[in-house]
Amino acid sequence: MTSHTPDPSQPTSQSTEKTDNTTQPTPETAPKPASPKPKAPKPSAIPRPPAGVPVAPSQPQGATGAKQAPTPTPAAPLVPAIDEAEADEAAKFGRVDAEGNVYVSDPEAVSSSSSSDASQVSGSKHERIVGQFPDVSEREALQLYITRYLDLLAQVKLFQTRVQTVSDLTVSEIDTTINQLREQVKEPAAVGDLAKLRQLLKDVEELAAERRKAIEIERAAAREKAIAERTKIVEKAEELAAKDPQKIQWRKSGDALKNLLEEWKTAQRQGPRIDKPTEDSLWKRFSTARTTFDRSKRHFFAELSKRNAAAKAEKTVLVEEAEKLANSTNWDETARAYRKLMDRWRAAGHAGRKDDDALWARFRTAQDTFFEARNAVLAEENKEFEKNLEVKLEILKEAEALLPVKDVKTARRALRSIQERWDEAGKVPRENLREVEGRLRAVINAIKDAEDEAWKRNNPETKARAQGAAAQLEESIAQLEAEVAAAEAAGNDKKAKEAREALEVRKSWMTQISQFADE
């Protein structure tokens, strides 16, 4: 069967044409039967709806006695193409009586509000009047109501297609359309298989219920996803707010918090809606995180301002002390004083970039003044110390030739001569001092270690103790040897094994003591 699109020129199933006993219908307002060619109706041949059927308002009339403007002739309405087979099939469910009353077979819905004249029972066939169209042929009288039936059928089929194919159908659209269609097919002023129409609507309702359920599931999933995304935004904000104020990068974190707020607004405008309690709860957490962040930021910078002021005061004192030392000629003591001032400077903390830079410039100027003067003096001294360095390098060659120590006494005598000449050579340049002193100290330590080792070997008390220990070990070895022999003779393998292991340990000790005593 061919589906039909509702014709805007035709009255809907909710209304019929308004009757007027004094005004004749124009050719454009009269129903257009598909076939055969309609016969011109007489002046009284006007379709009248039954009692209880709503009517559309007619064209407003002018005031009594007033001159009325001529009514423009309307353009011919667009009549949708009608499938004659469908129309013929629909006509089987209607009839027209001698007075022009149009009946429809409707066993399922007889209006309780209709009068006894508007509905009747004829044998087993339930009928009700849907309108009146006198003085025309039966098909002409039925045609308007058949068209309305086909329009209703087309609407139901169209919605069935939409339910099955349209992806962005909403629950509200489904519910609204179902309710409208239910009202339209409840007791329509139409002629056709109304039972079939209502059954089709029931089938569509089942499809719509399934589609509605699927939409609800999709909507619930979208809500859960939206809640998860909003929750993630909140958690990021809370993470920023919970950071240690001493470690946080305020500008970067502040920008991140602003971006999170924009993400929240975008999700609120464009994302799926979430239930108000959940949204309010998440927003409260988000707002609390922002408030906490702002409070921490204000507190941090207030404390920072206090610390900067204290650091500025401390560094100002250090700069003044440094400036007092700038012209000192007590090179070593003043250099140590500047090192201490630097330690105090580092411990004072930051005073703010602007103040730090200004104070550091003054401190550095005073420090440079002193060290430049000292370096100039030391440069002059180094010219004389270069000759002393050459002498000490030659002495170092002689000292290092004593290693490794073979004769401790000879090495000790040579070292005394080396140390006397070393002291007489005088100072060396500061940059070479550590190197040459370290090389000589290594020779002295090596000779001392050799002396200590020789003393240990020749100490009478040590030798006496070694000899006493050797005597004890000899006695213990003899006793263990006897135990081994006795255990073997008795066949006690376990005891013999233990005695042999102890004997091996004592013999090892005896070997070590003997070597020490021989030295």
* Tens digit of each residue's pLDDT (9 = 90 or more) over 291-345: 999 999 999 889 888 888 998 898 899 899 899 888 988 888 999 998 998 998 9
Residues in contact with 208: Cβ distance below 8 Å, sequence separation at least 6, in sequence order? 159, 163, 174, 177, 178
Distance (Å) of CA 80 to CA 73, 86, 136, 260, 320: 21, 13, 22, 56, 103
Among 369, 371, 367, which residue's Cα sits nearest to residue 345? 367
**Contact status, residue 111 vs residue 105, Cβ threshold 8 Å:** no
Which among 26-30, 422-426, 467-471 has the top mean pLDDT? 422-426
Residue 25 confidence (pLDDT) above 50: no
Residue 46 confidence (pLDDT) above 60: no
- Cα–Cα distance between 308 and 447 in angstroms, integer? 58
pLDDT value, residue 102: 92
pLDDT value, residue 513: 67
**Contact status, residue 134 vs residue 102, Cβ threshold 8 Å:** no
Q: Please state whether the peptide bond connecting residue 404 to the residue before it is cis, i.e. omega within 30 degrees of 0.
A: yes
pLDDT value, residue 458: 67
Q: Residue 441: is it exposed, middle or buried by C-beta count within 10 angstroms (0-12/13-18/19+)?
A: exposed
- Confidence label for 39 from pLDDT (cuts 50, 70 and 90): very low
Token pair 């999933």: residue: 221
φ/ψ bin of 135: left (φ > 0), alpha (ψ from -120 to 50), beta (otherwise): left
- Cα–Cα distance between 186 and 180 in angstroms, integer? 10
- Cα–Cα distance between 403 and 172 in angstroms, integer? 103
pLDDT value, residue 461: 64
Token pair 């002629």: residue: 191
Token pair 């110390």: residue: 385
Tell me the H-state helices in 130-187.
138-165, 171-186
Instruction: Tell which wins on pLDDT, 240 or 114.
Output: 240
Structure tokens belonging to residue 398:
């002689």
Instruction: Tell which wins on pLDDT, 224 or 108.
Output: 224
pLDDT value, residue 160: 92
pLDDT value, residue 217: 87
- Confidence label for 81 from pLDDT (cuts 50, 70 and 90): low
Residues in contact with 447: Cβ distance below 8 Å, sequence separation at least 6, in sequence order? 402, 405, 408, 411, 412, 415
The order of strands in the sheet holding 101-105 is: 94-96, 101-105, 125-132, 119-122
pLDDT value, residue 474: 80
Residue 246 is which amino acid? Answer: Q
- Cα–Cα distance between 391 and 424 in angstroms, integer? 10
HSE, CB side, 13 Å, CA atoms: give it for residue 115. Answer: 7
Instruction: Tell which wins on pLDDT, 476 or 30.
Output: 476
Q: Please state whether the peptide bond connecting residue 74 to the residue before it is cis, i.e. omega within 30 degrees of 0.
A: no
Among 149, 34, 28, which residue's Cα sits nearest to residue 81? 34
- Cα–Cα distance between 484 and 492 in angstroms, integer? 9
Phi, psi for residue 55 in degrees, rounded to 5: -120, 155
Give me the mean pLDDT over the 418-443 stretch: 88
Q: Residue 366: is it exposed, middle or buried by C-beta count within 10 angstroms (0-12/13-18/19+)?
A: buried
Phi, psi for residue 48 in degrees, rounded to 5: -120, 130
Residue 472's SS3 state is: helix
pLDDT value, residue 145: 92
pLDDT value, residue 246: 85
Residues in contact with 428: Cβ distance below 8 Å, sequence separation at least 6, in sequence order? 385, 388, 389, 392, 436
Instruction: Tell which wins on pLDDT, 380 or 427.
Output: 427
Residues in contact with 403: Cβ distance below 8 Å, sequence separation at least 6, in sequence order? 443, 446
Number of H helices, E strands in the chain: 12, 4
* Tens digit of each residue's pLDDT (9 = 90 or more) over 489-506: 888 888 888 888 887 877
pLDDT value, residue 219: 83
- Cα–Cα distance between 117 and 120 in angstroms, integer? 7
Structure tokens belonging to residue 420:
């006397």
Average pLDDT value over all residues in the chain: 78
pLDDT value, residue 123: 40
Q: What is the DSSP letter of 131?
A: E
Residues in contact with 43: Cβ distance below 8 Å, sequence separation at least 6, in sequence order? 24
* Tens digit of each residue's pLDDT (9 = 90 or more) over 127-185: 899 998 888 888 888 999 999 999 999 999 999 999 988 888 888 889 999 999 999 99
